[in-house]
Amino acid sequence: MPSLRALRKRIGSVRNTRQITKAMKMVAAAKMRRAQEAILKARPYANGLSTVLLDIAARVNTEAHPLLARREPKKVELVVMTSDRGLCGSFNTNIVRRAEQFLFEKGGEFDRISLSCIGRKGRDHFRRKTVDIRREYIGVFNNITFSSAAEIAQELARDFVAQDLDAIWLLYNEFKSVIQQRVALYPLLPMRIPEETGTAAAGVDFVFEPDMATILDAILPKYLGTEIYRAMLESAASEHGARMTAMDNATKAAGEMIDSLTLKYNKARQAAITKELMEIVTGAEAIKA
Amino acid sequence: MAEKIELTIVAPDKTLFKGVVEEIYAPGLLGEFGVLEGHSPFFCETDPGEVRYKAGGADKYVAVAEGFAEVAADKVTLLCEAAERPEDIDIDLANQYLKKAEEKLSGMTLFDPEYRFRELRVKRARNRLNVAKRASARA
């Protein structure tokens, strides 16, 4: 049986921990609400842009623009989006596990797989492995801006156009709901163009103004930037959601721990008192006798 | 006359309008274009300007920044960098924005890498002001 003093100390420290997790939960909740609003607002534009672009891409030749090129995937890059901070449950673990699965499954298929890490946690994990990390972006989640997303997209696009990469996959946490995230993995380049399923205008030639090359030049980088931007917003909202849940669980667990420790403490205290009383009574009896 | 086109105007921060309209006018890069039902498929870049559409017989206006427009027979999608209704624009503030944008542009030359970006900002600001002024003149 631990001493009363040790128990009291233990209860105090767990109580402190609970206070911290509770505060973190509240901060995460506030941040999540903002992030959630941002992603809900950004989705229609991102979806609209990708619908429009796929509409065009399905109609034009793959040689119309270097970003539309399709090559045998030999040099592949996986963009891994994790958070910069920890204490958010299985948020990063899920991503890292999926990334390793990807590397394991596809490792033999391609000549070269490299990583781009957005977020510190993924970088830290893969730095310890024998994986080629070509790029890392740390701290972008502090303030998510379109220009930082566009910059990442631009660097990726440059390598793709230079034929240094044949395919780029994007891996991130998608925001489903406050308590639910889904790991999303999809090819950013080359674009996954839906099968020609006879849309109303299929076959009909589009008229482009001013001309197709100008339009593609403008819209393709914009599309890539928007996709990265959207993924970043999704990931940020998911991160705060995951942290909120994790911290809520931690707060509850700490509460339970305090209860059980308090019970133990009280039992120990009672036992001590009883023992003392017994000693006094025994002492008194001895004097009487 | 049951001419119906599904119009969607989206900006990165919101969906400004989604609904069925009779006609649309939008500022293309090479000049304004109008769309009625049955328009041939068409895709263009748009300039900052005023979008006008007729819904239920009434004309509505929107100030838009540069972006893209996709036109199909019964559907028009406008993807703009920014979109606002004239009644939401504060003329005094718009004036200040324009002044700031012009200040930043002045002194730049055509060869400046930022020139086009700054020029667009001025165009945007000027357009917002114009749209708002025209709306208040109509009212």
Question: For position B97, which CATH number holds?
Answer: 1.20.5
- How far is A198 from chain B, CA to nearest CA, in Å? 14
Residue A201: pLDDT above 70?
A: no
Same domain, B78 and B14: yes
Same domain, B105 and B78: no
- pLDDT at residue A197 in the model: 47
Last residue of some domain: B49, B68, B84?
Answer: B84
Residue B25 contacts A where some CB pair is shorter than 8 Å: no
> Domain limits at B36?
5-84
Same domain, B51 and B104: no
Query: Across residues B13-37, what is the average pLDDT?
Result: 91
Last residue of some domain: B63, B84, B105?
Answer: B84
State what percent of residues in chain A have pLDDT above 70: 96
Query: Across residues A233-244, what is the average pLDDT?
Result: 95
Q: Which of A28, A46, A80, A88 is catalytic?
A: A88
The CATH code of the domain that includes B68 is 2.60.15.10
Task: Name the residue with higher pLDDT: A56 or B51.
Answer: B51
- pLDDT at residue A172 in the model: 96
Same domain, B115 and B75: no
Same domain, B97 and B128: yes
What are chain A's domains? 4-22+246-288 (1.10.287.80), 27-244 (3.40.1380.10)
Same domain, B69 and B101: no
Same domain, B115 and B80: no
Same domain, B114 and B67: no
Domains: count for chain B? 2
pLDDT bucket at B28, cuts 50 / 70 / 90: very high
Q: Which of A44, A206, A209 sits opposite B15 (nearest CB)?
A: A44
Residue A203: pLDDT above 70?
A: no
- pLDDT at residue A194 in the model: 67
Residue A28: pLDDT above 90?
A: yes
Q: Which of B10, B44, B45 sits opposite A48 (nearest CB)?
A: B10
Residue A200: pLDDT above 70?
A: no
pLDDT digits (tens, 9 = 90+) for B71-113: 988 889 999 989 999 989 999 999 999 999 999 888 888 888 8
Residue-averaged pLDDT of chain B: 89
Same domain, B11 and B74: yes
Q: Supply the pTM of this predicted model.
A: 0.86
- How far is B77 from chain A, CA to nearest CA, in Å? 8
How far apart, in whole angstroms, are the C-alpha atoms of residue A58 and residue B41? 14
Same domain, B115 and B66: no
Same domain, B14 and B39: yes
Same domain, B95 and B80: no
Residue B37 contacts A where some CB pair is shorter than 8 Å: no
Query: Across residues A202-206, what is the average pLDDT?
Result: 62
Query: Taking a contact as any Cβ pair under 8 Å apart, which residues of chain A between 96 and 155 contact chain B?
Result: 146
* Predicted-complex ipTM score: 0.83
Residues of chain B found within 8 Å of residue A41, distances taken between Cβ atoms: 12-14
Last residue of some domain: B38, B66, B84?
Answer: B84
Q: What is the DSSP letter of B14?
A: E
